[in-house]
Amino acid sequence: MSTYKIAVLPGDGIGPEVTKEAVKVLHALAKIDASFEFEVEELNWNSQYYLDHGRMMPENGLEVLKEYDSILFGAIGDERVPDQISIWDLIMPIRKNFQQYVNFRPVKLLKGLASPLRKEDPIDFVIIRENGEGEYSNIGGTMFHGESREMAVQNTIMTRQGVTQITEFAYRYAREHDLTKVTNATKSNAIIHAMKFWDQIVEEVAEANSDIAYERYYIDALAAYFVQRPESFQVVLASNLFGDILSDLGSAIVGGLGVAPSGNINPSREFPSMFEAVHGSAPDIAGKGIANPIAQIWSAALMLEHLGRRDLHDKILQAIEELLVEKKHLTPDIGGSATTEEVGSAIAEKLLG
């Protein structure tokens, strides 16, 4: 029997509410399949921890996390702590130190959900976003504070290794899932150094995988195509900033943040990967028990796929789709009146049969 050691970081706001339901679903799965079990440990490194200790995680936090097979992350963000601190002192160190250079976001219109686009064709693609460098670098600085010549510089970092490994992941994913096309999101007509370099490396890898079709669009046009013909995409490869924006647009066309999952993946498996809903801590609905747990439960399913159990991922997704088609247990964000807990329990019960 295999044992998966999972570190759960519930975080702030609705993070703990939705994470509790995801863990409930994991335990339900372990009940129906004797081939594995979960060892779940909760680590309360969140904004309250920061207020108590002056840091987002213990000094040896990364050492502690390294011992786990995977991390399930809720969401972080609390008005008492600047967002910059919660993001750069907790999420970013994990992503960067654990070389989670893939941000993986499915854009799939689940059965039972309606797209605001009112499309007949199925929407089902993935966004593979570079997660470790690019536009989100802290290399830069400011000068001449308060003077009329005050200025700020922030550099984009594109490395041969970084672009190669994310592109190779995109092609590997396409191959493993019998997909036939990769779309490159770029802007090399205006960002003539960094994005031109990006294109050059992406196309080197594309050439080595020429049995899979390749296309390249400027980011502005591509954003429009997401709305006009989302059914035409299979794997969309994007830099850190472009991928961030595209994936919020992607989640909007398939039902919104309540049903948008993601993974921060370290493909070499040298370090644990981290799975989290795309949404934040949603302070406007925190504590009301009405947050949609589907995004977090689906994120846990992505975690299982990464741990080598695509079958369990598919089982969870099927249970979620059954629930959405029945429409009996839906949270308010997708037109129902169920609570977070009711939705989590209903999905767990479907798995238990």
CB of 247 to Mg ion, least distance (A): 7
Distances (CA, A) of 45 to 20, 105, 199: 16, 24, 39
* From candidates 6, 28, 76, 185, binder to ligand NAI by CB under 6 A: 76
CB of 206 to Mg ion, least distance (A): 27
- 295 scored as a contact of ligand NAI (CB under 6 A): yes
Residues across the chain: 353
- 282 scored as a contact of ligand NAI (CB under 6 A): yes
Per-residue buried b or exposed e for 250-274, using 16+ beta carbons within 10 Å of the residue's own CB = bbbbbbbbbbbbbbbbbbeeebbbb
Which of the listed partners (ligand NAI, Mg ion, none) does 244 bind, with a CB threshold of 5 to 8 Å by partner kind? Mg ion
- 244 scored as a contact of Mg ion (CB under 5 A): yes
- 77 scored as a contact of ligand NAI (CB under 6 A): yes
- 328, 317, 120, 234 alpha-carbon torsion, rounded to 10°: 160
Given the complex with Mg ion, which of 69 and 244 has the nearer CB atom? 244
Given the complex with ligand NAI, which of 178 and 284 has the nearer CB atom? 284
Given the complex with ligand NAI, which of 86 and 183 has the nearer CB atom? 86
- Based on its alpha-carbon atoms, the radius of gyration of the chain, rounded to whole angstroms, reads 20
- 284 scored as a contact of ligand NAI (CB under 6 A): yes
CB of 142 to ligand NAI, least distance (A): 22
Candidate ranges 29-37, 57-65, 70-78, 217-225; the one touching ligand NAI (CB under 6 A): 70-78
Which of the listed partners (ligand NAI, Mg ion, none) does 77 bind, with a CB threshold of 5 to 8 Å by partner kind? ligand NAI
- 108, 262, 276, 75 alpha-carbon torsion, rounded to 10°: -90
Helix pair angle (294-306, 340-352), 10° resolution: 40
- 279 scored as a contact of ligand NAI (CB under 6 A): yes
Candidate ranges 11-19, 40-48, 53-61, 242-250; the one touching Mg ion (CB under 5 A): 242-250
Question: Which structure tokens are listed for 176?
Answer: 């493993």
Candidate ranges 6-14, 45-53, 219-227, 240-248; the one touching Mg ion (CB under 5 A): 240-248
- Which residue's CB atom is positioned nearest to Mg ion? 244
State the binding string over 176-195 for Mg ion (x if CB under 5 A, else -): --------------------
> Going by C-beta distance under 8 Å and a sequence separation of 6 or more, which residues neighbour residue 132?
95, 96, 99, 100, 101, 162, 240
- 292 scored as a contact of ligand NAI (CB under 6 A): yes
- 280 scored as a contact of ligand NAI (CB under 6 A): yes
> H or E stretch including 261?
strand 261-265
State the binding string over 227-266 for ligand NAI (x if CB under 6 A, else -): ------------------------------xx--------
Number of residues that bind Mg ion (CB under 5 A): 1
Candidate ranges 188-196, 202-210, 239-247, 332-340; the one touching Mg ion (CB under 5 A): 239-247
> Going by C-beta distance under 8 Å and a sequence separation of 6 or more, which residues neighbour residue 78?
12, 13, 46, 47, 48, 86, 281, 283
**Torsions phi, psi for 337 (to 5 deg):** -135, 20
- 107 scored as a contact of ligand NAI (CB under 6 A): no
Of the candidates 290, 302, 350, 303, which has an alpha carbon nearest to the alpha carbon of residue 326? 350
Q: What is the spatial distance between Cα 186 and Cα 20, in angstroms, rounded to a whole number?
A: 38
Please give the full DSSP string across 83-95, using - where no structure is assigned.
Answer: HHHHIIIIIHHHH
Strands 140-143 and 151-154: antiparallel
Which of the listed partners (ligand NAI, Mg ion, none) does 249 bind, with a CB threshold of 5 to 8 Å by partner kind? none
Q: Contact, 157 vs 136, CB < 8 A?
A: no
Please give the full DSSP string across 27-77, using - where no structure is assigned.
Answer: HHHHHH-TTEEEEEEE---SHHHHHHHSSSS-TTHHHHHHTSSEEEEEE--
**Contact footprint for Mg ion (CB under 5 A):** 244
**Contact footprint for ligand NAI (CB under 6 A):** 14, 18, 75-77, 83, 91, 257-258, 276, 279-285, 291-292, 295, 331, 333
